[in-house]
Structure 1
Amino acid sequence: MIYKRDRYLILDPCGNYMVRIALPEYMQGYFSGKKNFIKSTGTRDIRQARLVRDAIAVEFSRLREQLQPKPSGTKMERIINELRQVGAYAKENPIPLGEVALTCPSLLKLLDLYLLQFSEKRKLTTLSKTSKSVEVLLGHLKKKDVQLKDVNRTTVTGWLDKLKKEKAPQTIQNYISALAQIWDLAKNRYHDAPQDNPWRGHALEAKSSKVSYEVFAPGELAKVYNLLDDEMKAVTLIGMYSGMRLNEICSLKTANVKTIEGVLCFEVMVGKTKSAARIIPVHSNLIELVTKLLQRPYEGFLFYHASITDRADGKRSTWHTQRFTRAKRKALGEAGTERKVFHSLRHEFAQQLDRCQVPEDRIALLMGHERGNTESFKTYSKNSASSLELSGYVEKINYDFLLSS
């Protein structure tokens, strides 16, 4: 198990560190039914927060050990009961002599197998969503673990009906897709796994429910920008002049800013899609800012809050997403601005390039989108644009409110 030095620590909206520890079900009654124990450390210093966290964690472990239910019966009785359960299963599911009894494991064990098998084939964010799906399902069932045969279609549809009142369609679809893959894995590996996949055929049509983002109207972005702190202003400027996704910006390290063919460029190594890996010339209006950021990195990262964010899915942009959203709501209000978010800057970037008649395949190259559908285009046109050519397109991006401020 990998040790995480900032385990149990989260940031509150004011930038102070808080200790958050998940409460086992048997302890929740002692904490007014709460699922998490949360206390502020009263400091923004990560080193002091760790000391407070360590002291709390030690005392919490003692209390958990004290309250943890003890198994009923003696050790011998528990062993005998286990053997009797195996005997009962063997009577109902006889296995020919000489064959190894490889039975379908529980959901958590299957999750471990899935993560191990696809650790090199799936992105960290995808694997994290799979783990989250299992966690949410078990929370709904109020069980620590479950056998696949105990989850039927009625159980699934009941859970989905509940989720529809709480979650967005796309989130629900993500849960279904992840769990369906685990059930498929079991079906392909184990003779006694359920042959009917209860996660298939629900037709939620999540794609049709997706809401497109809107660009900021003239003057709106200026109002939001003026409410941001220095770090968020820097992040926002890079988003405006590069079209990069927020997490791509927050994941930037000093090694990702390099001079290529005499042009200073951002280098995106990995991203949301296979086409996300790309180079983006640094706009001339960003040269001074980027130079300053390179002089004071934070453990290699360009941005401090990205360097201290440590999530299981690898995302570095959690703090920045919250900050931008709060500034937007304060500047523009909540009504009618739901579709105006940080990602809107990416849409504005693409629209400006399009209005300047930049070729569509070059826009796709800068945005990290798939370029063309024909095999000849994919084979012979990949990475065909020079950084100097791309720089000419990026320089067409313009924001009047920054020039007038």
Structure 2
Amino acid sequence: MRYNQFSHYKRSDTLAGEFMRYKPNQYIICDSYGNYYLRITLPVYMQPFFEGKRTFVRSLHTSNLRVARRKRDQIADEYHCLRESVAPVNSTIENTLELLRSKAKYAKTATRMQDTASSCPSLLKILEIYLTINSTKKKPATLAKARKAVEMFLSYRKKPDIALQDVSRTTVTGWIEHMQKTLSQQSIANYISPMAQLWELASSRYHDAPERALSPWRGHRLDVAQSRESYEAFSNKELLQVLQVFSGNSAENKEMMALCLIGLYTGMRINEIASLTIDDVKEIEGVLCFEITQGKTKAAARVVPVHSLITPLVLSLREKPHNGFLFYHASITERADGKRSTWHTQRFTRAKRKALGEKGTERKVFHSLRHGVAQLLDRNQIPEDRIALLLGHTRGNTETFRTYSKNAASPVELKNYIELLHYPEIEKGLSINKKSNLRRKTTP
């Protein structure tokens, strides 16, 4: 006979009306992913009822230690009722000795189980758990950022690994001040955020982990808003000078020119452009569009009509792809964070420095093209929510508005807004017009 449900047994007189008291983590064990289990070593006289097994193991279906303890109490109470009901009434000396041996063996096992359940993993271990749990929930870029943050922090501390309890607020502050010498506030925040998430993960799974309310990663008041507004738009004259660096006939210059023109007439982020595939260029309701299915934020997923001035270029790119991508260097770039724009970012930066010099241009980058598009649309009195829709910004103050108005604007309406983007000085300098041939020539 096998007993796998303890609830069939009533409490004995000695247990009736009261709950057993257990040590904090008695009977509780934890696997490497933070999931809790109940494990009870069975005395000899109970083993026949469990197919001869020496231990009873059951998942508690939770990664929260407090919840695990409550579930443990319920099951363990029933277990003790069952044990009382089947215990030998007139135990012989041999049975008594065997019972004592079983309890002694359990005591040693219980100690090991408590150690397992109470041991908070090191930083690298908790990172491994975080990556495993979120492997299908978060974007590769987000996971790569967490991995990079841990790598940078351990490098700063000059340690191969570190216990979470050994990281103080003073240590974190020191690291932030160290990063401020070379990184923007936004970049620093991008590294602090995943570290805070690792601490929160640990605090939700291990009772001896640092408390969430006392996390050394919270409350550092980084001026992220100022950092986000730090980019400056190029003047048309400056931008023409930069683009003229790519006026040569080499395949690399033509690739960079194409990428920059798409940025000028869409306001798309550089990685959104570099990541475009032939499947992302399609007609929607009769309008040729870029369909961005995912990006930096949830709002980044959107449809952007193709401007008439770059339509020949875009069609040419779609006709001659590179392993499905519109751009050759994107097709050969593979990074853990999924970014395809590394080469393009570096080339644009070098071209800017060559055309404009380094002094006074630090805040003018490829992202500045996006700012220029936003300014042009605003000057043409395009509604703010439509500008946000085209650029992939969060719109509205409520989740309801963001959810139900996402597709409120048709491609035809958005096309009218995109066609308002014009740069007379640049278009004249590069001879860009509806009759010009912007088709791409030979590429690698």
Q: Identify which of 190, 202, 208 aligns with 2:220.
A: 202
Select the residue among 358, 365, 381 that pairs with 1:341. 365
Q: Greater CA deviation, 321-330 or 173-182?
A: 173-182
Tell me, in whole angstroms, the C-alpha distance in 2 between the residues paired with 1:316 and 1:97.
Answer: 48
User: Superposition pairs for residues 92-131 of structure 1, below 5 Å?
Assistant: 99=114, 101-102=116-117, 103-131=119-147
Q: Distance in 1 between matches of 2:403 and 2:169?
A: 44
Segments of structure 1 that go 5 or more residues without pairing to the other structure are 1-93
Once the two structures are TM-superposed, the CA of residue 209 in structure 1 deviates from its matched residue by 4.1
Task: Give CA deviations for 1:116-156 in whole Å, capped at 9, x if unaligned.
Answer: 22223322222111111110111122222222223233333
Post-superposition offset of 1:268: 0.4
Paired residue secondary structure (1:323): helix
CA contact (8 A) 2:243 2:257 kept: yes
Matched, 1:224 2:242: yes
Higher mean C-alpha displacement, 311-320 vs 164-173: 164-173
Structure 1 position 269 matched with structure 2 position 293: yes
Q: CA shift at 1:113, angstroms?
A: 0.5
Map Cα deviations across residues 67-125 of structure 1 (whole Å, 9 max, x no partner).
Answer: xxxxxxxxxxxxxxxxxxxxxxxxxxx97697573221121111010112222332222
1:4-39 per-residue CA deviation (whole Å, 9 max, x = no partner) reads xxxxxxxxxxxxxxxxxxxxxxxxxxxxxxxxxxxx
1:186 to 202, 222, 233: 202
What TM-score does the superposition give when structure 2 sets the normalisation length?
Answer: 0.66
Higher alpha-carbon deviation: 123-132 or 300-309: 123-132
Provide the rounded CA distance (Å) in 2 between the counterparts of 1:197 and 1:377. Answer: 34
Cα gap change, 1:148 to 1:204, in 2 (>3 Å)? same
Q: Which amino acid aligns with 1:226?
A: Q
Match 2:344 to one of 309, 320, 323? 320
Contact 1:211/1:339 (8 A) holds in 2? no
What's the counterpart of residue 238 of structure 1? 262
In structure 2, what is the equivalent of residue 403 of structure 1?
A: 428
Question: Is the Cα–Cα contact under 8 Å of residues 95 and 101 in structure 1 kept in the other structure?
Answer: no
Say yes or no: does 1:300 pair with 2:324.
Answer: yes
Write out per-residue CA displacement over residues 146-205 of structure 1, whole angstroms, 9 at most, x where no aligned residue: 222232333333333333334333332222222121111111101222234222233333
Q: Is the 8 A contact 1:214 1:340 kept in 2?
A: yes
Q: Equivalent residue of 1:266, what SS?
A: strand
Task: Give the whole-Å Cα distance in 2 for the aligned partners of 1:98 and 1:317.
Answer: 49
What residue is the counterpart of 1:156 in the other structure? 172
Q: Name structure 2 gaps, 5 residues minimum.
A: 1-108, 247-252, 432-444
Kindly, what percent of the aligned residue pairs are identical? 59
Deviation at 1:288, TM superposition (A): 0.9
Which of residues 400, 406, 423 is equivalent to 1:382? 406
Report the number of matched residues: 312
Output the amino acid matched with 1:220: E
Query: Contact 2:236 / 2:423 at 8 angstroms: preserved in 1?
Result: no
For 1:212 and 1:156, how far apart are their aligned partners in 2? 25
Structure 2 residue identity aligned to 1:367: L
- What TM-score does the superposition give when structure 1 sets the normalisation length? 0.72
Q: Which amino acid aligns with 1:273?
A: T
Secondary structure of the corresponding residue to residue 242 of structure 1:
coil
Distance 1:166 1:213 in 2: 16
Residues 154, 395 of structure 1: CA spacing in aligned structure 2 closer, same or farther, 3 A cutoff?
Answer: closer
The CA distance in 2 between the partners of 1:182 and 1:342, in whole Å, is: 32
Matched residue of 2:116: which SS? coil
Structure 1 pair 214/365, CA: closer, same or farther in 2 (3 Å)?
Answer: same
What's the CA shift for 1:336?
Answer: 1.6
Does residue 256 (structure 1) correspond to residue 280 (structure 2)? The answer is yes
The one of 390, 393, 400 equivalent to 1:369 is 393
Task: Tell me how far apart the structure 2 counterparts of residues 329 and 138 of structure 1 sit (CA, whole Å).
Answer: 34
Matched, 1:284 2:308: yes
Specify whether residues 140 and 370 from structure 1 end up closer, same or farther in structure 2 by C-alpha distance, changes over 3 A only.
closer
User: Does the 8 A contact of 1:169 with 1:209 survive in 2?
Assistant: yes
Greater Rg over alpha carbons, structure:
2
The structural deviation recorded for 1:210 is: 4.0
Task: Provide the rounded CA distance (Å) in 1 between the counterparts of 2:370 and 2:309.
Answer: 17
Could you tell me how far apart the structure 2 residues matched to 1:206 and 1:385 are? 31
